[in-house]
Amino acid sequence: MAPNTSTNPSVDVLPTPWTGRFDGDGDEHRRWWQAVAPLTSSAAAGASRPAVVLGFCSDAGVRRNKGRVGAAAAPAAIRSALGPLAFHLDRDVFDAGDVVVEDDSLEEGQQRAGRAISELLDAGNLTAVLGGGHETAFASYLGVAGSNAVRSGKRLGVLNLDAHFDLRDEPTPSSGTPFLQMAQEETAAGRELRYAVVGISEPNNTRTLFDTADRLGVKYLLDEDCSAERVETFVADFVAGIDVLYLTIDLDVLPASVAPGVSAPAAYGVPLAVINAVCRQVAASGTLLHLDIAELNPEFDIDGRTAKVAARLVNTLLA
């Protein structure tokens, strides 16, 4: 596969070197920080589809949704947690830098990130966006919907691991609205959104949100029903009806003890083992087009715990 050498004009901050422990230069000592190359590099790609990491530094969506801001610092925190991990992947990984949402310029930032993602997808990469609040998901959707794969008619599925539907009907887009925005976009394009959610917390979603989900034909599993077996079947059924998958992980799907560094920590949450198994299942499905991980707020993290979990899940997904 061709190396990925373009510098995308939509990106604000160019990639900076990753850091981590140094045990030696040989492959047997390799860690993420030694493996990840800036997208501007001319490093040769291997046999597997290359992965490209892109940061989406945004607080605007959570602020508009009346949450606890701080997710704009998440891309740097996830890179820091990924850097020291041992690198066992059979693919090249590139860093494209960050799209930065200044102040309240959310819609413009989502459009720019979307263009960057489409371009990376059309160049043959597996794209991994590090959010940002869950407004990151609408940027991801714009990128995926604008890609050649979806424009050529492939059936898109959106799988969200989240305690919340994020289907709010509000005049202003936020971290609480991205999947309703997607549904509206799909309708305008003469399609229906195929949207599934794993981990919905009943007490944290109003009747209106459940009604909206039902009206849109959203498939979901409540957090209390997320045994490993049920989740595996649910994901397998969903993936069987699509051609390409966009996976989005809102870290508040995990219990607050595992993921304290989020805007809305979960009292119940889906166990990390189950969420990690979904990531393995999705990675092995052959359908994964694009992924993102959202809602990390380093300000409320404890000992980098949530950032480490985010890094672990990204590692699983790209393996």
In the complex, the residues that contact ligand NIG under the rule CB under 6 A are: 65, 67, 134, 164, 166, 168, 175-176, 263-264
Q: How far is the CB of 262 from ligand NIG (least distance, A)?
A: 9
Please give the DSSP secondary-structure letter assigned to residue 28: G
Q: What is the Cα–Cα distance from 51 to 125, expressed in whole angstroms?
A: 5
Shortest distance in whole angstroms from residue 23 CB to ligand NIG: 39
Contacts of residue 88, defined as CB under 8 A and 6 or more positions apart, other chains included, come to 319
Choose the one of ligand NIG, Mn ion, none that binds residue 168, judging by a C-beta under 5 to 8 angstroms depending on kind: ligand NIG
Closest approach of ligand NIG to the CB of residue 278, in Å: 19
Contact indicator for 297, 71 with CB cutoff of 8 Å: yes
Token pair belonging to 5:
């050498």
- From 26-34, 163-171, 185-193, 304-312, span contacting Mn ion (CB under 5 A): 163-171
Residues in 164-223 that interact with Mn ion by CB under 5 A: 164, 166
110 in Cβ contact with 61 (< 8 Å): no
Q: Which does 63 bind (CB under 5 to 8 A by kind): Mn ion, ligand NIG, none?
A: none
Q: How far is the CB of 24 from ligand NIG (least distance, A)?
A: 42
Q: Which of 134, 168, 290, 308 binds Mn ion (CB under 5 A)?
A: 134
CA distances, 234 to each of 160, 199, 220, 294 (Å): 12, 12, 8, 22
141, 185 contact by CB (below 8 A) = yes
Please give the annotated binding residues for Mn(2+), written as ranges.
Answer: 134, 162, 164, 166, 250, 252
Give the long-range contacts of residues 183-191, CB within 8 A, separation 24 or more: 183/216, 185/141, 185/145, 186/145, 189/145
**Closer CB to ligand NIG, residue 168 or residue 290?**
168
* Residue 108: CB minimum distance to Mn ion, A: 21
- Shortest spacing between CB 19 and Mn ion, in angstroms: 30
Q: Which is nearer to ligand NIG, 118 or 263 (CB)?
A: 263
Cβ distance to ligand NIG smaller for residue 164 or 194: 164
- Indicate the Cα dihedral angle 235, 313, 101, 301, nearest 10°: 120
Could you tell me how many residues of this chain bind Mn ion (CB under 5 A)?
Answer: 7
Torsion over CA of 307, 311, 312 and 314, rounded to 10 degrees?
Answer: 140
Beta carbon of residue 178, minimum distance to Mn ion (angstroms, whole number): 8
252 binds Mn ion (CB under 5 A): yes
By a kind-dependent CB cut-off of 5 to 8 A, residue 67 interacts, out of ligand NIG, Mn ion, none, with ligand NIG
- Residue 59 binding: pick among ligand NIG, Mn ion, none (C-beta 5-8 Å cut-off by kind): none
Edge-to-edge, what's the strand order for the sheet holding 156-161? 37-38, 93-100, 51-57, 126-131, 288-294, 244-250, 156-161, 195-200, 219-222
135 sits near Mn ion (criterion: CB under 5 A): no
Candidate residues 139, 163, 245, 317; the one interacting with Mn ion per rule CB under 5 A: 163
- Whether residue 132 is preceded by a cis peptide bond, meaning omega within 30 degrees of 0, is yes
CB nearer Mn ion, residue 134 or residue 308: 134
Q: How far apart are CA 145 and CA 288, in angstroms?
A: 14
Rank residues 7 and 208 by Cβ distance to ligand NIG and give the closer one.
Answer: 208
Bridge pairing between strands 288-294 and 37-38: unpaired
Helix, coil or strand: residue 72: helix
Residues within the interface to Mn ion (CB under 5 A): 134, 162-164, 166, 250, 252
